[in-house]
């Protein structure tokens, strides 16, 4: 079964033991650390709802951050638990029933790319989950703890460093967390719980920049990379490339609807055996409105796809 509505759970709880202090609201590149991934995920038209699980004593400040970057998309902030697993479960429980797919992301990974998330979304179905990650480039040694003696060397060709988000259907993820609670099984990530139930978990290659801010020096590295992106304070819109495959007699109506949604038609390709491809750029927040009219204008057999293109200043609407 294909996932229609995605819920994003951002885990932003924890005391920041290795960082030296709680880091969720630490400023990086002009915005709180958690705000960056919050904005990226909320801007995706595939995501219908956002839940942030955080420390109980910063629920209100976290609500203010979310209100400033999520926009009109529904969101809720809930208290997290003592462990990451408990916080992820609390966020999962808070998602509305309309979310049939769930992605769980660490709020301390500010550089996640929407394009990587979409690649993982495309894999998920009942019984199959996805996780972002990167191949390990260093040689990994297993070391005996007390004497620091090397026990064996692992084959790095088989090793990947796991990232987030980790994605599954709501049904599968709920079952994985419920069974873990029953068996009192601890896990540092959600994929481990899914693997335990025998689900197929597919690793999806992602950007190495999607690292977790763990130590103070990581914050400086993240800030350097984030300054090259669109600053949050500028309130830029995410623009997607929309490609629609429609019958010839629907081209004018579909182009008109794109323009009504303040999009820009970039090209029309009629050199196909059947149908026409329309390429256009549309603000991601307007895609849902376009979708409401698309089938009526183009017919049930027509299709369209979207993918992230760039950030741009919002279009000024004349009074």
Q: Which domains does the chain have, with CATH numbers?
A: 6-234 (3.90.550.10), 237-312 (3.30.70.240)
**What is residue 186's predicted lDDT score, i.e. its pLDDT?**
84
* Contact predicate 211/223, CB 8 Å: no
User: Per DSSP, which regions of the chain are E strands?
Assistant: 6-12, 27-28, 31-32, 47-54, 75-79, 101-106, 128-135, 141-143, 150-153, 160-169, 200-205, 237-246, 264-269, 276-283, 303-312
CA distance 131 to 191: 7
Rounded (5°) CA angle 25-89-169: 110
Look up tokens 């329309």; give the residue. Answer: 278
Q: Which of 127-131, 234-238, 284-288, 306-310 is predicted most confidently?
A: 127-131
> Tokens standing for 8?
């994003």
CA distance 306 to 121: 13
Mean pLDDT in the chain?
Answer: 90
Work out the percent of the chain whose per-residue pLDDT is above 70.
92
Tens-digit pLDDT profile for residues 140-172:
999 998 899 999 999 998 999 999 999 999 999
Of 116, 126, 118, 199, nearest to 169 by C-alpha is 126
CA distance 100 to 125: 10
Axis-axis angle for helices 216-226, 33-42 (nearest 10): 50
Q: What is the CA radius of gyration of the chain?
A: 21
What is the pTM assigned to this prediction? 0.72
> Tokens standing for 137?
């480039």
Instruction: For residue 165, say if its preceding peptide bond is cis, omega within 30 degrees of 0.
Output: yes
Q: How confident is the model at residue 312 (pLDDT cuts 50, 70, 90)?
A: low
Q: How confident is the model at residue 99 (pLDDT cuts 50, 70, 90)?
A: very high
Q: How confident is the model at residue 316 (pLDDT cuts 50, 70, 90)?
A: very low
Tell me what the mean pLDDT of segment 108-136 comes to: 96
* Contact predicate 88/11, CB 8 Å: yes
Say whether pLDDT at 2 is over 90: no
In this structure, are strands 75-79 and 47-54 parallel, antiparallel, or unpaired? parallel
């Amino acid at each position: 079964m294909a996932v229609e509505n995605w819920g994003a759970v951002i885990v932003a709880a924890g005391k920041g033991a290795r960082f030296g202090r709680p880091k969720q609201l630490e400023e990086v590149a002009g915005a709180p650390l958690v705000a960056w991934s919050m904005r990226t995920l909320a801007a995706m038209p595939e995501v219908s709802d956002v839940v942030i699980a955080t420390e109980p004593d910063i629920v209100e400040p976290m609500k203010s951050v979310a209100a400033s970057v999520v926009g009109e998309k529904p969101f809720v902030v809930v208290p997290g638990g003592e462990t990451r697993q408990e916080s992820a479960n609390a966020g999962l429980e808070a998602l509305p029933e309309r979310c049939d797919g769930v992605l769980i992301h660490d709020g301390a990974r500010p550089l996640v790319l929407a394009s990587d998330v979409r690649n993982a979304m495309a894999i998920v179905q009942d019984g199959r989950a996805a996780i972002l990650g990167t191949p390990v480039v260093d040689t990994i040694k297993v070391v005996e703890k007390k004497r620091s003696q090397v026990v064996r060397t692992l084959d790095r060709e088989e090793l990947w460093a796991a990232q987030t988000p980790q994605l599954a259907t709501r049904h599968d993820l709920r079952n994985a967390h419920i069974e873990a609670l029953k068996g009192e099984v601890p896990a540092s990530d959600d994929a481990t719980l899914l693997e335990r139930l025998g689900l197929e978990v597919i690793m999806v290659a992602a950007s190495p920049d999607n690292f977790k801010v763990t130590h103070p020096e990581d914050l400086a590295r993240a800030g350097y990379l984030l300054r090259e992106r669109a600053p949050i304070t500028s309130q830029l819109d995410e623009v997607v490339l929309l490609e629609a495959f429609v019958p010839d007699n629907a081209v004018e109506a579909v182009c008109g609807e794109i323009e009504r949604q303040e999009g820009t038609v970039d090209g029309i390709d009629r050199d196909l055996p059947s149908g026409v491809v329309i390429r256009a750029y549309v603000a991601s927040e307007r895609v849902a409105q376009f979708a409401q009219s698309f089938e009526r204008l183009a017919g049930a057999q027509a299709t369209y796809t979207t993918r992230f293109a760039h950030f741009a200043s919002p279009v000024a609407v004349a009074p």
